[in-house]
Amino acid sequence: MSDKRSGSAAASYAEIDEEYAGQRLDNFLLGSLKGVPRSHVYRLVRSGQVRVNSRRVGPGYRIRAGDRIRIPPVRRTAQPLVQRPAGIDLDWLAQRIVFEDERIVLLDKPAGLAVHGGSGVNLGCIEALRLLRPEARSLELVHRLDRATSGCLLIAKRRSALRALHEILRAHRMHKYYLALAAGSWPRKLRRVDQALTKATAGAQARVRVDADGKPSVTFFEPLARFGNVATLLGVRLETGRTHQIRVHAAAAGHPLGGDPRYGSERFNAELANLGLGRLFLHAATLSFRWPQTDEYFGVSVPLPQELRVVVNKLARRY
């Protein structure tokens, strides 16, 4: 995109390239006119002051490569440069970057850290990464992980990469593999759980339950190791990606995950706490896909965190 101006009180023109193609006009303007209220941006579009190729269009218009957008002169609040707040150490985040190129960043997210701020969380993964990479203006989460879950978290660095990755997700061509510890001896024949889920809120927290009228949800479970009748280490693959899907499907099967305060077993959680478990035992171990058009393969695995390996080792010695 190029931006040509002829004076402080004159309109500017944006020439759209492939990087921005496909974005809604309103979202493009909100990103371009930092500091301008959303309501005013929509007023500019609807009044015809914003034009695409000299024509009036609606805010939902999908911009295309080669479009020339007229942006009227507006008063905006000055935007300060992003600076790292005093006292915030982001060295830990740099050490968590497993892979990075010009398109994406893959983090090994620690348990207990939200992927984004909000709901009482001031700094999530994406905000921290934007502070660490202030020169990367288009960092966006590709998907999400529960705050209590560790492992592979993918972030796009370019709008074109984000569009491609969302296309992969919609087509169910992004493969995610988790490691989880479930209560009891997981049945050998129970490999596929197909139960619709619906989400409600309990106080400030989301709670998900099995509901025949909910959204279709499918999870595949593979027993990897059994520890007597006490616990089973599982490999888990998602066909759909609903909130808390693995946790709810495991609990509905009668084998809740270890360390799960919301859907878990108090007795099982207490037993694992005696072995040193202080978090949910759920880890996003592997993420893979092929880029559209080029068919280039991408795949990354991150090892089970030390605090989870300790619990598995203790169970193995005991059972």
Which one is catalytic: 26, 146, 194, 211?
146
Choose among 305, 307, 298, 288: nearest CA to 177. 288
Q: Which amino acid is at 176?
A: K
Which SS3 state, helix, strand or coil, does residue 59 take? coil
Interatomic CA distance for residues 195 and 191, integer angstroms: 13
Q: What is the CA radius of gyration of the chain?
A: 23
Burial level of 188, CB count in 10 A (0-12/13-18/19+)? exposed
Contact (Cβ atoms closer than 8 angstroms) between residue 247 and residue 302: no
Choose among 36, 2, 35, 42: nearest CA to 18. 2
101 is catalytic: no
Catalytic residues: 146
